[in-house]
Amino acid sequence: MGDVVSYSREGEIAVITVNNPPVNALSLPVRKGLQDCFRQFAQDAEAKAAVLICDGRTFIAGADITEFGKPPEDPWLPKVIHEMEACEKVIVAAIHGTALGGGLETAMGCHYRCAVPSAQIGLPEVTLGLLPGATGTQRLPRLIGPKAALDAMVSGRPMPAKKAHAAGAIDELVEGDLKEGAIAYAKKLVANGAKPRRLSEESVDTSDIDEHFFAEYRNSIARQARGFFAPEQIIKCVEAAVSLPYEEAVKRENELFMECMMSSHSAAQRHLFFAERACQKVLDVPADTPKREVKKVAVIGGGTMGGGIGMKFANVGIPGVLKEINDEALERGLGIIRGNYENTVKKGRLSQEAMDQCMDLISGTVDYQGIDDCDLIIEAVFENMALKKEIFGELDKVAKKGAILASNTSTLDIDEIAACTSRPEDVIGWHFFAPANVMTLLELVRGKQTAKDVIATSMAMAKKIRKTAVLVGVCFGFVGNRMFFPYQREAGLMMLEGVPADRIDKVAYEWGWAMGPNGVADLSGLDVLVKVKNEWTERPDDPALWVVIEKLVEKGRMGQKTKAGIFDYSGRAPVPSAETAAIAKAEAERLGIEQRPDISDEEIIERLMYSMINEGALILEEGIAMRPSDIDVVFVHGYGMPRYRGGPMHYGDAVGLDKVVAAMEKYRQRYGDMYWKPAPLLAKLAKDGKSFDDWAAENA
Ligand code: 3HC
SS3 154: helix
Q: How far is the CA of 230 from the centre of ligand 1 (A)?
A: 19
* Per-residue H/E/C for 161-193: HHHHHHHCCCCEECCCCHHHHHHHHHHHHHHCC
Q: Are 66 and 242 in contact (CB under 8 A)?
A: no
CA distances from 76 to 307, 348, 592 (A): 52, 45, 63
- Domain limits, CATH 3.40.50.720, in the chain: 297-472
Share of the chain above pLDDT 90, in %: 94
Among 20, 23, 58, name the best residue to mutate to test ligand 1's pocket (greatest count of ligand atoms within 8 A of Cβ).
Answer: 23
Active-site residue among 85, 125, 490, 615?
125
Taking phi first (over 0 means left), then psi (-120 to 50 degrees means alpha), and beta for anything else, what does residue 13 get? beta
Q: Whose CA is nearest to atom 45 of ligand 1?
A: 62
Give the separation between CA 185 and CA 91, rounded to whole angstroms. Answer: 11
Give the separation between CA 579 and CA 21, rounded to whole angstroms. Answer: 62
Low pLDDT (below 70) residues in the chain: 1-2
Q: How far apart are the first and last CA of the chain?
A: 25
Which residue in 609, 520, 608 sits closest to 559, CA to CA? 520
Q: Phi and psi dihedrals of 313, rounded to 5?
A: -75, -45
Q: How far is the CA of 5 from the centre of ligand 1 (A)?
A: 19
Which residue in 16, 167, 185, 175 sits closest to 84, CA to CA? 16
CA distances from 67 to 57, 301, 572, 692 (A): 22, 48, 45, 20
Which residue in 41, 44, 138 sits closest to 87, CA to CA? 41
Tens digit of each residue's pLDDT (9 = 90 or more) over 388-418: 999 999 999 999 999 999 999 998 999 999 9
User: What letter would DSSP give residue 543?
Assistant: T
Ligand 1 atom nearest 124 alpha carbon = 44
- Domain limits, CATH 3.90.226.10, in the chain: 5-262
- Domain limits, CATH 1.10.1040.50, in the chain: 480-623+627-698
State the pLDDT at residue 1.
47
353 flagged as catalytic: no
Sign of CA dihedral 482, 486, 487, 491: positive
Active-site residue among 85, 105, 253, 603?
105
Q: Whose CA is nearest to atom 43 of ligand 1?
A: 62
3-state helix, strand, coil in the chain (%, to 5): 50, 15, 35
Q: Domain spanning 297-472: which CATH class is it, in words?
A: alpha beta
Which residue in 448, 618, 476, 475 sits closest to 535, CA to CA? 476
Pocket of ligand 1 (CB under 6 A): 22-23, 25, 58, 61-66, 77, 98, 100-102, 105, 124-125, 128, 130, 132-134, 136, 274, 277
Domain 480-623+627-698 indexed as CATH 2.170.120.12? no
Q: Whose CA is nearest to atom 14 of ligand 1?
A: 277
State the pLDDT at residue 2.
62
Ligand 1 atom nearest 100 alpha carbon = 45
Give the separation between CA 19 and CA 22, rounded to whole angstroms. Answer: 9
Q: How far is the CA of 20 from the centre of ligand 1 (A)?
A: 12
The CATH code that applies to domain 5-262 is 3.90.226.10
Among 18, 31, 65, 79, name the best residue to mutate to test ligand 1's pocket (greatest count of ligand atoms within 8 A of Cβ).
Answer: 65
Q: How far is the CA of 354 from the centre of ligand 1 (A)?
A: 32
Give the separation between CA 310 and CA 280, rounded to whole angstroms. Answer: 23
394 flagged as catalytic: no
**Alpha helix segments (H runs only) across 44-76:** none
Q: Whose CA is nearest to atom 20 of ligand 1?
A: 22
Angle between helices 77-86 and 102-109 (to 10 degrees): 20
Global pTM reads 0.95
